[in-house]
Every structure is written in C-alpha cells, then in structure tokens.
Amino acid sequence: MNRSLKSAAIAVLAGAMGISSVGCESKAQTGALVGAGGGALLGGAIGSLSHSRAGAGAAIGAGAGAIGGYLVGNEMDKKDKKNRDAAAANSAKTSSPPNNSYQSPPPSRAAATDGVSRDDVIRWSKDGVKDEVIIDRIERSGTAFRLTATDENALRDANVSEEVVRAMKNTSR
C-alpha cells in the first residue's frame, strides 16, 4: 500500500470517528466507536508491518478496540449516573428552608386522604405554622368547613388566628 493511500485511509477513519461520535447517546457507545476506530488504525498498522495483513489486523484491532472502548465508556456512564443520583439526593436534603423559618410537619394520614380537619388547623397553629401556610393548605385541600359558633369558639380558644378562622369559613361559600 503506498504512503498517500495510507494517509487517505487514516484521514477517512479519523473523520468517520469524529462525525459518528457526535451523535452517541452514551459514553459506552462513544467509547465503542472510538475504540473500534483506534483499534482498526493500530491493528492495520501492526498487520501491515507483519506479513502484510493490514486488513486482518484492522478487523481484529477494531473488534478489540470496540469491546475495550465500550467497557470503559460503560463504567463512565455508571459513574455519571451514580453522581447524578447523589446530587439529586443531596438536592432534596438541601432544599429544606433555612433554620430561621418553620418547616411544617408532614400532613397526617387523615389529612392526606380526607382533606384538612379542624384538628389539623389547631395542631398547626400550636406548632407555630404561619397563618399564610395554614390558609394555603386549607385552600388547596378543597375541604369545605361548615363552622358552628361552638367550632369558632373552640378554634379561638386554641389560639387560631381570626384570619385562619375567616379562611375556614370562606370555604363553605
């Protein structure tokens, strides 16, 4: 094989590797392509130097390179996934409010299935949940409160604010 033909073959292979690696979805795929191309080049060169079998050397090199490149790329994909999962878990932990604000307890099982109850509102008020948060929960729950005078007095006795009591009454309209 003459020198200009070898140079052209190398240029074509290098270009094909560059173009084909742009559209890969994973590092494993990219590794397989780059490994195959690199293996083909190296195998072709070695095969050409020994017994003039550049084609066979290129084929063996491409196969070995593809397998090696895939394995390396696959491990890189696994590491990336592990890092993404850790970052997502860390993000969930750090997305809590700053220490100076109140983080309300998770809603009770009854509240999650049956809406917000009068007892939920009293508990949240005693726990120091801000009125705006309680009102938002009431409005989002879709619960319609039909408060009697006795209910209103019980809420006031439990130190539930007038604003929250008003919001509860407005749900029945």
DSSP 8-state symbol, 16: H
Can you list the alpha helix ranges (DSSP code H) found in 103-161? 109-114, 118-126, 131-141, 149-157
Digitized pLDDT (tens) for each residue of the chain, 173 residues in all: 566 656 656 765 666 566 555 556 777 777 776 777 777 777 777 777 777 777 777 778 777 777 877 788 788 878 877 877 777 666 555 544 544 444 544 444 333 445 888 999 999 999 999 999 999 999 888 888 888 999 999 999 999 999 999 999 998 87
pLDDT of residue 71: 82
Residues 12, 14, 17, 22: is their CA dihedral positive or negative? negative
21 near 3, Cβ under 8 Å?
A: no
Residue that is written with structure tokens 């749900």 in the block:
171
CA 76 – CA 37 distance, rounded (Å): 19
Q: What pLDDT, in 10s, does the model give residues 78-97?
A: 887 787 777 766 655 554 45
CA 63 – CA 43 distance, rounded (Å): 10
CA 132 – CA 134 distance, rounded (Å): 6
pLDDT of residue 112: 42
CA 5 – CA 49 distance, rounded (Å): 16
Q: What single letter denotes the amino acid at residue 15? A: G
131 near 154, Cβ under 8 Å?
A: no
DSSP 8-state symbol, 162: H
DSSP 8-state symbol, 52: T
